[in-house]
Chain A
Amino acid sequence: MQEEIVKNIILGEDEDYIINMGPQHPSTHGVLRFEVSLQGERIKKVVPHCGYIHRGIEKMCERDTYAQIIHLPDRMDYLSAHINNEAVCLCVEKALEVDVPERVTYIRTILDELNRIASHQLWWCAMGMDMGALTTFFYGLRDREKILDIFEESFGSRLIHSFNTPGGFMHDIHPGFQKRIKEFITYFRQKLPEYDRLLTNNVIFRERSIDIGTLSKDDAIQYGVTGPSGRGSGFSCDVRKIEPYGVYSRVEFNEILMTEGDVMARYKVRIAEMYESMRILEQLVDNIPAGDYSAKMKAVLRLPAGEFFQRVETARGELAVFIVSDGNKSPYRIKFRSPNFSNLFIISKLAEGFKIADLVAISGSLDLVIPDIDR
Chain B
Amino acid sequence: MAFNIYDFTEFTRNIDAGLRSAMSPGWAVFVEYLIIGLIFLLFYAVVGLFLVYAERRVCAFIQNRLGPNRVGPQGIFQTIADLIKLLMKELVPIKNADKLLFNIAPFIVIIASFMAIAAIPFAKGLHAIDFNIGIFYVIAVSSLGVVGILLAGWSSNSKYSLIGAMRSGAQVISYELSVGLSLLTIVVFSGTMQLSAIVASQADYWWIIKGHVPAVIAFVVFLIASTAETNRGPFDLAEAESELTAGFHTEYSGIRFAFFFLAEYMNMFIVASIAATVFLGGWMPFHLGPWTGFNHVMDYIPPFVWYAGKTALVIFIMMWFKWTFPRLRIDQLLTLEWKYLLPINLVNIVVVAFLVLMGWYL
User: Taking the nearest CB of chain B, how far is it from the CB of A329, in angstroms?
Assistant: 47
Q: Judging by beta carbons under 8 Å apart, are B242 and A208 in contact?
A: no
Among the listed A137, A139, A199, A207, which residue makes an inter-chain contact with B332, where contact means beta carbons less than 8 Å apart?
A207
Residue on A nearest B236 in the bound complex, by CB: A132
Q: Does A134 contact B (CB under 8 A)?
A: yes
Q: Which residues of A contact B90 (CB under 8 A)?
A: none
State whether A129 and B244 are in contact (beta carbons under 8 Å apart), knowing that A135-B62, A202-B325 are contacts in the complex. Answer: no
Q: Does A26 contact B (CB under 8 A)?
A: yes
Q: Which residues of B contact A131 (CB under 8 A)?
A: 326-327
State whether A355 and B159 are in contact (beta carbons under 8 Å apart), knowing that A133-B325, A134-B323 are contacts in the complex. Answer: no
Q: Which residues of A contact B160 (CB under 8 A)?
A: 19
Number of A-B residue pairs having CB atoms within 8 Å of each other in the complex: 79
Residue on B nearest A126 in the bound complex, by CB: B242
User: Taking the nearest CB of chain A, how far is it from the CB of B163, in angstroms?
Assistant: 8
Q: Which residues of B contact A25 (CB under 8 A)?
A: 245
Complex CA gap A207/B331 in Å reads 11
Residue on A nearest B240 in the bound complex, by CB: A132
Q: Does A27 contact B (CB under 8 A)?
A: yes
User: Taking the nearest CB of chain A, how far is it from the CB of B67, in angstroms?
Assistant: 12
Q: Judging by beta carbons under 8 Å apart, are B327 and A138 in contact?
A: no
Q: Which residues of B contact A27 (CB under 8 A)?
A: 242-243
Q: Which residues of A contact B240 (CB under 8 A)?
A: 132, 357
State whether A135 and B323 are in contact (beta carbons under 8 Å apart), knowing that A17-B159, A208-B332 are contacts in the complex. Answer: yes
Chain A, interface size category, equals 20 to 34
Q: Judging by beta carbons under 8 Å apart, are A135 and B63 in contact?
A: yes
Complex CA gap A198/B62 in Å reads 13
Q: Judging by beta carbons under 8 Å apart, are A138 and B243 in contact?
A: no
| Binding site secondary structure of chain B | helix
Complex CA gap A142/B62 in Å reads 13
Q: Which residues of B contact A139 (CB under 8 A)?
A: 63-64
Q: Does A170 contact B (CB under 8 A)?
A: no
Residue on A nearest B160 in the bound complex, by CB: A19
Among the listed A41, A129, A135, which residue makes an inter-chain contact with B242, where contact means beta carbons less than 8 Å apart?
A129
Among the listed A19, A137, A355, A357, which residue makes an inter-chain contact with B327, where contact means beta carbons less than 8 Å apart?
A357
Q: Judging by beta carbons under 8 Å apart, are A135 and B324 in contact?
A: yes
B residues 1-42 in Cβ contact with A at 8 Å = none
User: Taking the nearest CB of chain B, how far is it from the CB of A115, in angstroms?
Assistant: 24
Q: Which residues of A contact B332 (CB under 8 A)?
A: 204, 207-208
Q: Mark B74-100, 1 if CB is under 8 A from A, else 0.
A: 000000000000000000000000000
Q: Mark B152-193, 1 if CB is under 8 A from A, else 0.
A: 000000011001000000000000000000000000000000
Complex CA gap A195/B240 in Å reads 23
Q: Does A167 contact B (CB under 8 A)?
A: no
Q: Does B234 contact A (CB under 8 A)?
A: yes
Q: Judging by beta carbons under 8 Å apart, are B327 and A132 in contact?
A: yes
B residues 306-336 in Cβ contact with A at 8 Å = 323-332
Residue on A nearest B162 in the bound complex, by CB: A17
Q: Judging by beta carbons under 8 Å apart, are A138 and B63 in contact?
A: yes
User: Taking the nearest CB of chain B, how far is it from the CB of A142, in angstroms?
Assistant: 6
B residues 223-270 in Cβ contact with A at 8 Å = 234, 236-237, 240-245
Q: Judging by beta carbons under 8 Å apart, are B242 and A133 in contact?
A: no
Residue on B nearest A26 in the bound complex, by CB: B242
Q: Does A128 contact B (CB under 8 A)?
A: yes
Q: Which residues of A contact B326 (CB under 8 A)?
A: 128, 131-133, 199, 202, 204-205, 208
Complex CA gap A69/B31 in Å reads 80
User: Taking the nearest CB of chain A, how far is it from the CB of B197, in angstroms?
Assistant: 39
Q: Which residues of A contact B234 (CB under 8 A)?
A: 132, 204
Q: Does A192 contact B (CB under 8 A)?
A: no
Complex CA gap A208/B242 in Å reads 15
Q: Which residues of B contact A17 (CB under 8 A)?
A: 159
User: Taking the nearest CB of chain B, how far is it from the CB of A143, in angstroms?
Assistant: 10
Q: Which residues of A contact B339 (CB under 8 A)?
A: none
User: Taking the nearest CB of chain B, how far is it from the CB of A353, in angstroms?
Assistant: 13
State whether A204 and B242 are in contact (beta carbons under 8 Å apart), knowing that A135-B62, A138-B64 are contacts in the complex. Answer: no
Q: Which residues of A contact B242 (CB under 8 A)?
A: 26-27, 129-130, 132, 360
Q: Which residues of A contact B65 (CB under 8 A)?
A: 138
State whether A358 and B329 are in contact (beta carbons under 8 Å apart), knowing that A26-B241, A132-B234, A132-B240 are contacts in the complex. Answer: yes
Q: Does A356 contact B (CB under 8 A)?
A: yes
B residues 121-176 in Cβ contact with A at 8 Å = 159-160, 163
Q: Which residues of A contact B243 (CB under 8 A)?
A: 27, 356-357, 360
Can you list 11 contacts pairing A with B, beta carbon distance less than 8 Å? A41-B331, A130-B242, A131-B327, A133-B323, A138-B63, A138-B64, A202-B326, A204-B328, A207-B329, A355-B331, A356-B163
List the 7 closest A-B pairs by CB distance, nearest first: A132-B327, A131-B326, A138-B63, A27-B242, A133-B326, A132-B326, A357-B329
New A-B pairs, 16, CB < 8 Å, besides A132-B237, A207-B332, A358-B329: A26-B241, A27-B242, A132-B240, A132-B327, A133-B323, A133-B327, A135-B59, A135-B63, A135-B323, A139-B64, A142-B64, A199-B326, A204-B325, A204-B326, A207-B328, A355-B330
